[in-house]
Structure 1
Amino acid sequence: MPSAPRSVFHRWIDDAAVFPPGCASVPDAWAEHLALREGRYADLLGPLLIGTPGAEQLVAAAAQLPPAEDLGTGTAHGSKPVDVTVVARAGTPLADLVGAVGALRGSPHVQVVGVELAHDDEAGRWRRALDLGVRVAVEVTRDPAAQQAALDDLAAAAGESPVAVLAKLRTQATSAAPPPTPGELAGFLLGARARGLALKLTGGLHRAVAHTTVAGTDEHGALNVLVAVHHLEEGAALPELVATLELRDAEELAALVRGLEEEAVALLRRRFVSFGCCGVLDPVHDLLDLGLLT
């Protein structure tokens, strides 16, 4: 049975090891990320995600355990630093985000490639992150009306800025609410595409296929979203997207991915940039079981 085009999974999974439910310590997350970076699935790995409070710890961890090619040199001369994205949770002062980026930029072992923060009601506050000169992912609310207004705001900023702007949605359960329904997620996908926005997701996508947990929570599948975005780029409407997000036939999803042409892969990955996962290898193992990776 043929595997899927490897390009469909390139830099697809951002390493969110320090965030719940994994909650790894910064030194452990750093060490594990270095191991993944040298492993057989390195091409699937996106940047290491670090919260603003952990920036100084990451600088210290990187100094103590540099990337392998840096050992014995004391510098990163001639080597490729580790890609890092800084995440500011809702309510974090923008000054903290700027300070965290500045601290990380002082290390020769890391390279800040993006920042993530929440959209807010204070007009334009999040836009100041564009001045950092790296890709900005902005988490929008699940409230339908407010989400549409936020996506309008992101699209307006994206049209004016040379910095890439991504729309971000949280796909995991929170203390206040269960995961978004397939209808909610499909609505977000449609809203992002209608405005020409690339997107990323965060949380809850530990498995390739949609499933119900032992606690009775319905969780989305990373592969379901991938196929749904492919259908989205082909002009699918809400009902088809919802049906794809609800699909639990792993073999059917796998067959759809195997059949993707490179042009279709490029289109869907320009839209669906990545998702954050605290256990990077969890969805990878599912892809291996389905024969989508060798």
Structure 2
Amino acid sequence: MPRMSTLPAPRSLFDRLVDDAAVFPPGNAPVPVAWAEHLAMRSGRYGDVLGPLLIGAAGADVLVEAAAAHPPVTDHETAAGLRPAPVAVGVVARAGTSLRDLRAAVAALRASPHLRVVSVELPHDTAGAWREALGLGARVAVEVTRDLGHQHDALDDLAAGASRGTERVVAKLRTQSTPTAPVPTPRELAEFMHGARDRDLPFKLTGGLHHAVAHTELTADPSPEEQHGVLNVVVAAHHLEQGATLRDLIATLELRETAALTSLVRGLSERDVDQLRARFLSFGCCGVMDPVGELVDLTLLTP
């Protein structure tokens, strides 16, 4: 039997792929703890995989205080006598957060020399209030509903806003279960990905992607929970850019053969990576090292 390749995947595939959502459920890390752990990961051997630290609008002032108490620094910057680069931050306005509070949070974070606001995230609303966030000078990720009828309307709205705005607009879908809804099915996720591509929108995902490959998660609830895999989404995004049908995407998202997925990922060219990552920007995870650890175990990601 031939040996399975242990070559890593293109490193660029994982560049800034995982947004650090440590302060959000189910992790719920206190802001100072999330800050300290983010700095440690940022200066670690997989720091290039790390996206921005996500913070709720209500936690902005606490983050500013934590950054002032423990400024970012790396050994490389210290040795070279350089001023540490500000840490990238994404501000999340959850349902019920006013635009006034969102603006105040962005302003507070920007006043810190240690922080750099790179994105804001908020839910889509039929009144179009999300468009006011386009004036904040950062990428705007807008979470859309899972209801396909309304989702298509929301994606149309985002595409229209993207064509007229100066900031990049990103479609966002929640890929974890909530108290009111289970994890989206492979078909639901495939429909969202197709909808984003058809409107030339980049997309990001949030929650649930703690494992490399799709699997069944045993929970305290009598019913097990089906979880999506990072590699499934990456390969599906590649197929999406190659013109895959909805049925093809669903099959890829349902695939549970680790060897097949890792082989496909190792075979991606730099051009493939550029194309798929222009569409699939990142995903938020409250435990960044969960998916990173599995990618390392599969030798797709090396120090």
Coarse TM-score class (shorter-chain normalised): over 0.9
The one of 126, 129, 132 equivalent to 1:125 is: 129
Query: What percent of counterpart residues are identical?
Result: 64
2:55 is aligned to 50
1:241 is aligned to 249
Instruction: Report the secondary structure of 1:207's partner residue.
Output: coil
Contact conserved, 1:202 with 1:275, CA < 8 A, in 2?
yes
1:207-229 Cα offsets, whole Å, 9 max, x none, are: 11101111200010111001000
The one of 191, 202, 205 equivalent to 2:209 is: 205
Contact conserved, 2:162 with 2:168, CA < 8 A, in 1?
yes
Contact conserved, 1:224 with 1:253, CA < 8 A, in 2?
yes
Runs of 4+ in 1 over 4 A off after TM superposition: none
Instruction: Report the secondary structure of 1:46's partner residue.
Output: strand
Please tell me the residue identity of whatever aligns with 1:231: H
1:209-254 Cα offsets, whole Å, 9 max, x none, are: 1011112000101110010000000000111100000011111100
Distance 1:281 1:78 in 2: 27
What does 1:1-294 align with in structure 2 at a 5 Å threshold? 1-68=6-73, 78-122=83-127, 124-215=128-219, 216-294=224-302
Shift in Å at residue 69 of structure 1? 5.2
Distance 1:116 1:96 in 2: 13
Distance 1:258 1:49 in 2: 30
Contact conserved, 2:43 with 2:74, CA < 8 A, in 1?
no
**CA shift in 2, pair 1:65/1:175, >3 Å:** same
The two structures, once aligned, show a CA RMSD in angstroms of: 1.4
Please tell me the residue identity of whatever aligns with 1:146: H
Distance 1:183 1:69 in 2: 43
Distance 2:85 2:178 in 1: 36
Distance 1:39 1:69 in 2: 9
Q: TM-score, normalised by structure 2?
A: 0.93
Distance 1:48 1:169 in 2: 18
Shift in Å at residue 161 of structure 1? 1.2
Contact conserved, 1:251 with 1:290, CA < 8 A, in 2?
no
Distance 1:69 1:289 in 2: 26
Distance 1:256 1:250 in 2: 10
1:134-157 Cα offsets, whole Å, 9 max, x none, are: 000000000001000000000001
Unmatched segments (≥5 aa) in structure 2: 1-5
Please tell me the residue identity of whatever aligns with 1:176: T
Instruction: Report the secondary structure of 2:118's partner residue.
Output: strand
Please tell me the residue identity of whatever aligns with 1:284: V
Contact conserved, 2:18 with 2:50, CA < 8 A, in 1?
yes
Contact conserved, 1:114 with 1:136, CA < 8 A, in 2?
yes
Please tell me the residue identity of whatever aligns with 2:237: V
1:251-274 Cα offsets, whole Å, 9 max, x none, are: 110000000011010000000000
Please tell me the residue identity of whatever aligns with 1:218: E
Contact conserved, 1:152 with 1:195, CA < 8 A, in 2?
yes
Distance 1:101 1:204 in 2: 27
Distance 2:206 2:16 in 1: 15
